[in-house]
């Protein structure tokens, strides 16, 4: 894509080129099921419609549709955007796997960090209150970590609240 920005639409200003590239990218994504010629025809039709309604996306583009070179470059841009969409779609399963793996690693890192820290006063108080509420004998919390206490609290809540909450 970067290569195309340097070679296509040499007669346009930097801002015009940037706006056109962004708009065409979203337009192609919106109409990805169609082929390049159909997308080009839709794009021209849309731009002419908005120009007639006195609300164009690009005020300078209508005269450009008369130039054959401009249309060829526009087709080239549409084709490249379609290729980029296909590549992105093909990579989707791998990206999802990477996200899941990263989430799992973050969870392990957080648990490791918690396992090295002493429990907070709030955790100790909450554990104490849960034990009193459910008439459970308190285990010794000496030399336990935040993670251990978190797991103990979670276990108590799961055992006693699973049957009571039905949504």
Do residues 34 and 46 touch, judged by C-beta distance below 8 A? no
User: What is the rounded CA–CA span in Å between residue 118 and residue 144?
Assistant: 7
Q: Are 88 and 32 in contact (CB under 8 A)?
A: no
| Integer Cα distance of 115 and 95 in angstroms | 30
Question: pLDDT tens-digit profile of 108-145?
Answer: 999 999 999 999 999 999 999 999 999 888 888 888 99
Please, which residues have CB within 8 angstroms of residue 131's CB and are 6 or more apart in sequence? Answer: 137, 138, 156
Q: Mean pLDDT, the chain, as a whole number?
A: 90
Contacts 24+ apart (CB under 8 A), 154-158: 156/127, 156/130, 156/131, 157/130
Is the predicted pLDDT of residue 167 greater than 70, yes or no? Answer: no
Which DSSP string do the residues of 52-74 spell out, in sequence order?
A: HTT--S-TTSTGGGG-HHHHHHH
Rounded to the nearest 10 degrees, what angle do helices 121-133 and 146-161 cross at? Answer: 30
Is residue 43 within 8 Å of 75, Cβ to Cβ? no
Residues of the chain with pLDDT > 90, as a percent, come to 66
Cβ–Cβ under 8 Å, residues 39 and 118: no
Per-residue pLDDT, averaged over 89-116, amounts to 95
pLDDT over 70 for what percent of the chain? 95
| Consecutive H or E run containing 46 | helix 36-52
Considering only CA atoms, which of 7, 12, 51, 47 is closest in space to residue 27? 47
3-state helix vs strand vs coil in the chain, percent to 5:
70, 0, 30
| pTM given for the model | 0.63
């Amino acid at each position: 894509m970067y290569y195309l920005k340097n070679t296509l639409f040499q007669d346009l200003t930097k801002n015009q080129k940037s706006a056109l590239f962004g708009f065409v990218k979203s337009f192609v994504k919106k109409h990805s099921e169609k082929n390049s010629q159909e997308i080009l025809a839709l794009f021209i039709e849309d731009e002419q419609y908005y120009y007639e309604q006195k609300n164009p996306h690009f005020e300078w583009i209508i005269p450009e549709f008369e130039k054959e070179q401009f249309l060829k470059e526009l087709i080239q841009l549409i084709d490249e955007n379609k290729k980029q969409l296909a590549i992105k779609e093909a990579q989707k399963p791998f990206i999802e796997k990477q996200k899941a793996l990263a989430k799992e690693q973050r969870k392990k890192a957080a648990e490791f960090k918690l396992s090295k820290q002493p429990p907070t006063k709030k955790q100790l108080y909450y554990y104490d209150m849960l034990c009193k509420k459910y008439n459970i004998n308190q285990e010794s919390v000496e030399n336990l970590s935040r993670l251990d206490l978190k797991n103990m609290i979670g276990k108590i809540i799961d055992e006693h609240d699973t049957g009571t909450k039905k949504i």
